[in-house]
Amino acid sequence: MAQRPQTSATPTRAERPELFPRRLAAPARDRPIVRLEGVHKAFDGQPVLRGIDLEFRHGETTVILGRSGCGKSVLLKHILGIIRPDAGRVEAFGQDLATLGRRDLETLRMQFGMVFQGAALFDSMDVNDNVGFLLYEHSKLSDADIRGIVREKLALVGLEGIEGKMPEELSGGMRKRVALARAIAGDPHVILYDEPTTGLDPVTADTINELILRMQKQLGVTSIVVTHDMASARKIADRMVMVHQGRIIIDDRPEGVMASTDSRVRSFIYGDASLESDASSSGGSS
Ligand SMILES: Nc1ncnc2c1ncn2[C@@H]1O[C@H](COP(=O)(O)OP(=O)(O)OP(=O)(O)O)[C@@H](O)[C@H]1O
Ligand SMILES: [Mg+2]
């Protein structure tokens, strides 16, 4: 007897919008889906972001580069409204985040999937509950439907049959993939990745690159990827931006960034600190 596979019976957001409330329409492709304008942020008087202007276009993969501690994670948190700017504005889906109440902000956040730095799975929950978390909390889907969606998303990231495992039983690469499955559980328009390949061997890291590309091609998502990993950046980026001392110092196609003569950019992409010290001495004399 052929059993109907659960996955094909599982409704998507597009098919059953009433089950996934509060879905916002995405802008047309190549139109801005997120904008930051003059964003400043300081912590304890120490400036981290000093006037960030950035637009993320729908359907594009933007890689954000920058040295450790330069404010990349802080920038991502502004996009989700987890951190509010001291000055400037953040807009997503045409809405100024500062004007939104709690419920509207929550709706907005549901259009995003986030793969946090270090995967950040809930240690006390099994893989099924981790991946289905948002759906259990915010959708009206039945448990059986959620299990179907979880299975489908795990299959999409190349992990099958691990629903019952606990995070501690997984390798680093598997945890990142589970985190990605969790990020796409609600069929988001935008996926934010914070260091998705850090700490993985080059081959496993490349499977994550392939997945990021697949999410863009297969699901049509906009991707914003923070990374130090230049091999990953070169493979996945439509566009690269680099943050340095709280400002964007380059915003270009990968070819343009790789060919940059800016010593701060070159020092970063070639991992050579001496290039940057040359820059500061020559910068000081000009
Ligand atoms: N909630 C916070 N409260 C106070 N300071 C913070 C907070 N979040 C970040 N910072 C500070 O802001 C700066 C930038 O941090 P952030 O985590 O964005 O760096 P990053 O570029 O993501 O670095 P890494 O590549 O190491 O992850 C750091 O000096 C950090 O200590
Ligand atoms: Mg970070």
pLDDT tens for the 286 residues of the chain, in order: 444 344 445 666 666 655 665 678 877 777 889 999 999 999 999 999 999 999 999 999 999 999 999 999 999 999 999 999 999 999 999 999 999 998 888 888 889 999 887 768 999 999 999 999 988 988 888 899 999 999 999 998 889 999 999 999 998 889 988 999 999 888 899 999 999 888 888 888 898 899 899 888 888 899 999 998 899 999 999 999 999 999 999 999 999 999 999 999 999 998 877 777 554 444 333 3
Please give the model's pTM, rounded to 2 decimal places.
0.87
Per-residue confidence (pLDDT) for residue 139, from 0 to 100: 82
Residues 242 and 274 in one domain: no
Nearest residue to 130 (alpha-carbon basis) of 147, 109, 112: 147
Indicate whether 277 and 243 sit together in one domain. no
- Nearest Cα to Cα of residue 227 among 245, 208, 214: 208
DSSP 8-state class, residue 169: G
Residue span of the structural domain in which 224 resides? 6-252
168 and 68 part of one domain: yes
Tokens matching residue 209 = 């690159």
Asked whether the beta carbons of 132 and 146 are under 8 A apart, the reply is yes
Ligand 1 center–CA 68 separation, angstroms: 8
Question: What is the reported pLDDT for 168?
Answer: 94
Nearest-CA residue for atom 26 of ligand 1:
68
* Residue 84 sits in the same domain as residue 213: yes
Residue whose CA lies nearest to ligand 1 atom number 1: 43
Dist CA 257 CA 239 (whole Å):
9
The pLDDT value recorded for residue 285 is: 34
CATH of the domain at 74: 3.40.50.300
Query: Does 227 contact ligand 1 (Cβ within 6 A)?
Result: no
Verify that 258 and 158 share a domain, yes or no: no
CA-nearest residue for atom 17, ligand 1, is 73
**Given this model, what pLDDT does residue 232 score?**
93
For the Cβ of 45 lying below 6 angstroms from any atom of ligand 1, the answer is: no
Q: Report how many domains make up the chain.
A: 2
Surrounding ion ligand 2 within 5 Å at CB are 73
Q: How far is the centre of ligand 1, averaged over its atoms, from the C-alpha of 196 (Å)?
A: 17
> Among 41, 74, 79, 114, which residue has the most ligand 1 atoms within 8 Å of its CB, making it the best to mutate?
74
Dihedral (CA of 149, 131, 129, 173) sign: positive
Whether residues 173 and 273 share a domain: the answer is: no
Q: Same domain for 15 and 26?
A: yes
Residue 1, in any domain of the structure? no
